[in-house]
Amino acid sequence: MFIFFMFILFIAIAVFCLTQQKYTKATLFMLLMGFAYLIVVSCIMTYMAKDAYYYNSMDDYFGIKQSLQNQLMFLPISRFTLIRIFNLSTLLFLYAGLCSAVYFAFHLTAKGGRRLLVWLAVPCAVQLILYDPFVYAQLYYGLYPDYMTSQGVVSAYEAIHTVTFVVNTLYVAAGILLLLYALYDAPKVRQIRSNIMMIAIAYISVHITYFYMNYWAPDMLIKVSEAAHFIRFQPINLVGNPSIYTLLPYIAGLCLLVSLYGIYKYARIQNSIRNQEAVISHNIDSALLTSRVFSHYIKNELLAIKAQSEYLAHVVEDAMGEKSPEVIEEIRVIEQRCNNVYHRLDAIHQKNLKSKIELIPVPIYELIDKLLGEMSMELKPIQVRYAKQPRQLVIMADPYYFAQALEHILRNAVDALESVPERSRQIEIDVHLKHKWLELVIADNGKGIAEENLPQIFQPFYSSKPTATNWGMGLSITHTIITAHGGKIHVTSKQGEGTAFHIVMPLLSADKEER
């Protein structure tokens, strides 16, 4: 039978997840929710099999044949016990579902988490007591007929059931809203968000099937007669078309499996992020970009070398064959330019070999510190203002490419400060948090960029400088790298006052502890 197959499969997958240690607290609660759901469905089918009212309807509702119904009917378990297990599993489903959503949506401290778990458990514990058949029977015998009429006891419990129905509906609604909030609040990293979306869809689907079949639970399922010590069991009230219930276990089972898969994938990402081992690969079209750069740069350098050679010939002609210091100097310039061409082309070739960006958790301050250390000579005549927040801010980035993008911006700032007196040269590096985004601002007080040139600065080969010293690819490459990371970049500038580059990246985590 499908439900028993689901039991075995669910337990096997749950054990696998636990033994592989690919779980979080949200994972554990969602596994508990799925297990409770399977028990609820099993209790409903077993209770109905023991009820003569449904003797000829089990096949219509759950596709259970007569032989299997007879086996369920004679299981050595009383209906009192079934009701208790059913109510316990129902409340466990509601409690675990809400707890899993809470842990998906928020990062709770150990103390705060324990306190919240206790408060959420209180309404469930109260219901478990109120809906226990023995407790209800004892209250009935104690209140009737001295304090309340038979109808008064029934009416009181109907009022209680209305209140608990509202509370349990709020548990379901709160869980769904928290999962949607977790999706909204998640790091803007596609792989993480897609897994949370898959979990959210499966979570909502499971709760919809549960609510359709079991919205009325927990309930008493017994009726105490006015004749003392006589208890009659009530049939389970299943609404809707019986054929829908035939599909519900399959739909719920599929949703639970999808949820388990999503939980497993999400837990793997969470654990790898925690261990600084996560790697998310994206293709970046560096082959086409670098081949175009190669051709363009070669042409520019050849033109420069040709112009230098023509000037050398002119100097030699003026010297009339005599050895001239200018000739030696110009020859050295030609050699130096040839060496520069070789090294730059070699660097381009090496970059072309790396055609993927591999996103890993990167502490932004560590990356900036390392880059500033590598550029210390270029930045020596410049006052760099760089203030860190007392938090460890982590983004998903490829350290090689992202550092390259920042390097292009910093070199651009250094060039822009050449016309500024050395004592006044400044570069400011600021990091701001904007919800789940990190904004990195690199600003200089250089000559600025003309307003009409701002829309073109990220275009390939655009440069306001001579091609012999700048070939107009730095900011274009920077733009390609940032967008490939899922980030955004824009620039603000005013001539004579300076330029600021704003890089917005998805924030992975912000540790509140001091560095």
Contact present, 230 and 188 (Cβ < 8 Å): no
Residues 186 and 193: beta-carbon distance below 8 Å = yes
State pTM to two decimals. 0.62
Residue type present at position 195: N
Residues 72 and 45: their CA atoms lie apart, in Å, by: 8
Please tell me the least confidently modeled range out of 15-24, 89-98, 166-175, 367-376: 15-24
Q: Which two tokens stand for residue 480?
A: 């390609």
pLDDT at residue 27 above 80? no
Report the distance separating Cα 357 and Cα 18, nearest Å: 32
Give the dihedral sign, CA 107/108/113/119. Answer: negative
What are the tens digits of pLDDT across the range 427-474? 999 998 865 678 899 999 988 888 877 777 776 555 555 444 444 556
Q: Would you say 348 and 295 are in contact if contact means Cβ atoms under 8 Å apart?
A: no
The 10s digit of each residue's pLDDT in 270-299 is 555 555 444 545 545 444 455 455 555 565
> What are the sequence ranges of the domains in the chain?
2-278, 279-354, 357-515
pLDDT value of position 316:
63
* pLDDT higher than threshold 50 for residue 178: yes
What is the pLDDT averaged over residues 232-242? 79
- Alpha-carbon distance of 505 to 481, in angstroms, equals 12
C-alpha span between 163 and 161 (Å, rounded): 5
Determine which of 9-13, 177-181, 275-279 has the lowest per-residue pLDDT on average: 275-279
pLDDT of 153 above 90? no
Higher pLDDT, 274 or 162: 162
Q: How far apart are CA 444 and CA 417, in angstroms?
A: 8
Are the C-beta atoms of 367 and 296 separated by less than 8 Å? no
Q: Parallel, antiparallel, or unpaired for β 356-363 and 383-386?
A: unpaired
Tokens linked to 371: 């880059």
| Amino acid, single-letter form, for residue 384 | V
Q: Tell me whether strands 392-397 and 383-386 are parallel, antiparallel or unpaired.
A: unpaired
DSSP reduced 3-state for 78? coil
Length of the chain as a residue count: 515
Token duo for residue 393 = 């801010």
Paired sense of beta strands 488-494 and 426-434, if any? unpaired
Cα–Cα distance measured from residue 325 to residue 319, given in angstroms and rounded to the nearest whole number: 10
Rg (the chain; Cα; Å):
35
Task: To the nearest 10°, report the CA torsion of 83, 88, 94, 98.
Answer: 180
Amino acid at 355: S
Lowest mean pLDDT, pick from 48-57, 220-229, 322-331, 398-407:
322-331
Q: How many other C-beta atoms lie within 10 A of the C-beta of residue 465?
A: 11
User: At 129, is the pLDDT very low, low, confident or very high (cuts 50, 70, 90)?
Assistant: very high
328 CB-near residues (< 8 Å, 6+ apart):
none
Between CA 237 and CA 506 the distance in angstroms is 49
Distance of alpha carbon 233 from alpha carbon 121, whole angstroms: 28
- The verdict on domain 357-515 having CATH code 3.40.50.720 is no
Q: Are 443 and 500 in contact (CB under 8 A)?
A: yes
Task: Give residue 179's Cα distance to chain centre.
Answer: 12
Closest CA to 24 of 161, 195, 162, 141: 195
**How confident is the model over 350-361, as a mean pLDDT?**
65
Q: Which residues, 6 or more positions from 138, have their beta carbon under 8 angstroms from its beta carbon?
A: none
User: Quick one: pLDDT at residue 277?
Assistant: 45
List of E strands, 130-198: none
pLDDT for 326 equals 66
Rounded-to-integer distance, Cα 309 and Cα 366, Å: 46
Residues 6+ apart with CB under 8 A from 509: 187, 273, 361, 392, 393, 394
pLDDT at residue 415, as a whole number: 85
Of 81, 75, 50, 93, the closest CA to residue 235 belongs to: 50
